[in-house]
């Protein structure tokens, strides 16, 4: 027995003590009662439908993150590719006068010129041949010359749809009627006012002087300071106009050569030859 008491106690022995930590027997009675109640509740409770899915996806659990990342990547690639090669409808709908042309399929949208012309007169909209330039650098006059009635198919959001189908809806008909009325009531006058306003605005813009332009750069100030005594020594007269003329003639090389030869310190002037 004394031999047993002197045996070394290891970490494993200490951890083995944890095995001996057991609850009292009455604990298990309560445990069984609670477990029985939970079991019955689980039997009665309706399980969500996804719990009964076959365990096909159980094996994929560890691949959730890589699969999700791959799906996102694939979706991004497909979306980008579809965005770049997204074709603009190039063929007009049969029987309509709407012709939509695109320069190239991969061209940016801002460079796509959409020509729409009407060959048939609708019942309440005057026929009008229109060239709608969607280019951002297109002159404003083009857009001002565009008739509003030609915008109706574009507003409807269906470039490929026939105007007849678009105008068949009550909303399109009312919009066409309103826009035609506005057009006849003096669209050009309104747009002309806009043009004059913009021209006035441009004129004001050209007259204003930027504050930065009024500032003299330090380099110019320094150059003027160096040139003034130099010009005075060359010309010998204090005439501003002459001095300016001479200062213009002096090359930069000569200027800096003179500066390096002439030095002033305190009450002394030093000239090197």
Partner 1 sequence: MDATKILGKTLVASPERRQEADADLAIVRQVQAGDVAAFDRLITKYRERVFGIVYNLSGNREDAADLTQDAFIKAFQSIHRFGGQSSFFTWLYRIAVNSSLSHLRKSRLRSFFSLERIDSDEPVAKEIIAALTDKTGVDRDAYVRELQEKLNDAMQKLSIRHRTVVTLFEVDGLSHQEIADIMDCSVGTVRSRLHYAKQLLQAELQPYMRR
Is 15 one of the binding residues for partner 1 (CB under 8 A)?
yes
H or E element at residue 129: strand 129-133
- Interface residue with partner 1 among 6, 225, 265, 272 (CB under 8 A) is 6
The angle subtended at Cα 234 by Cα 228 and Cα 235, nearest 5°, is 90
Residues numbered 193-222 forming contacts with partner 1, rule: CB under 8 A: none
Nearest distance in Å: CB 50, partner 1 = 13
Looking at beta carbons only, is 32 or 244 nearer to partner 1? 32
Is 23 one of the binding residues for partner 1 (CB under 8 A)?
yes
φ/ψ of 271, rounded to 5, equals -120, 130
Distance, in Å, from the CA atom of 20 to the CA atom of 14, rounded to the nearest integer, reads 11
Q: Are 147 and 128 in contact (CB under 8 A)?
A: yes
Looking at beta carbons only, is 24 or 271 nearer to partner 1? 24
Is 13 one of the binding residues for partner 1 (CB under 8 A)?
yes
Looking at beta carbons only, is 4 or 210 nearer to partner 1? 4
Q: 203 - beta bridge partners?
A: none
Looking at beta carbons only, is 39 or 239 nearer to partner 1? 39
- Interface residue with partner 1 among 12, 240, 253, 267 (CB under 8 A) is 12
CA nearest to 119, candidates 130, 106, 134: 130
**99 to each of 14, 88, 150, 218, how far by Cα in Å?**
89, 12, 12, 61
Nearest distance in Å: CB 34, partner 1 = 6
Point out which span in 30-38, 87-95, 180-188, 236-244 binds partner 1 (CB under 8 A).
30-38
Q: How many residues bind partner 1 (CB under 8 A)?
A: 35
Looking at beta carbons only, is 28 or 256 nearer to partner 1? 28
Residues numbered 33-72 forming contacts with partner 1, rule: CB under 8 A: 34-35, 38-39, 42-43, 47, 51, 55, 62
The token pair at 82 is 């579809």
Nearest distance in Å: CB 33, partner 1 = 10
Judging by beta carbons within 10 Å of its beta carbon (0-12, 13-18, 19+), is residue 174 exposed, middle or buried? exposed
What is the 8-class DSSP label of residue 180?
Answer: H
Is 248 one of the binding residues for partner 1 (CB under 8 A)?
no
Q: Are 30 and 38 in contact (CB under 8 A)?
A: no
Looking at beta carbons only, is 21 or 202 nearer to partner 1? 21
Intra-chain end-to-end CA distance of the chain, in Å: 114
The token pair at 165 is 């189908």
Catalog residues that contact partner 1 under the rule CB under 8 A: 4-24, 27-28, 31-32, 34-35, 38-39, 42-43, 47, 51, 55, 62
């Amino acid at each position: 027995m004394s031999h047993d008491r002197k045996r070394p106690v290891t970490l494993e022995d200490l951890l083995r003590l944890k095995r001996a930590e057991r609850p009292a027997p009455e604990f298990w009675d309560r445990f069984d009662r609670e477990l029985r109640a939970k079991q019955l509740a689980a039997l009665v409770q309706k399980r969500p439908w996804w719990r009964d899915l076959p365990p096909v996806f159980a094996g994929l659990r560890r691949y959730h993150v890589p699969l999700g990342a791959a799906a996102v990547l694939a979706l991004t690639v497909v979306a980008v590719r579809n965005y770049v090669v997204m074709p603009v409808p190039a063929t007009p709908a049969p029987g309509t006068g709407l012709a939509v042309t695109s320069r190239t399929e991969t061209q940016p949208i801002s460079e796509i010129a959409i020509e729409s012309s009407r060959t048939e007169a609708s019942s309440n909209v005057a026929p009008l041949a229109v060239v709608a330039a969607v280019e951002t650098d297109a002159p404003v006059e083009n857009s001002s010359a565009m008739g509003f009635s030609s915008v109706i198919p574009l507003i409807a959001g269906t470039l490929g749809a026939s105007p007849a189908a678009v105008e068949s809806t009550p909303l399109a008909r009312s919009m066409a009627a309103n826009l035609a009325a506005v057009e006849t009531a003096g669209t050009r006058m309104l747009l002309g006012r806009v043009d004059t306003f913009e021209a006035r605005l441009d004129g004001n813009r050209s007259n204003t002087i930027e504050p930065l332009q009024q500032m003299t750069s330090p380099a110019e100030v320094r150059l003027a300071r160096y040139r003034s005594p130099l010009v005075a020594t060359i010309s010998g007269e204090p005439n501003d106009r002459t001095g300016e003329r001479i200062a213009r003639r002096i090359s930069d090389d000569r200027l800096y050569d003179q500066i390096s030869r002439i030095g002033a310190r305190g009450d002394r002037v030093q000239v090197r030859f």
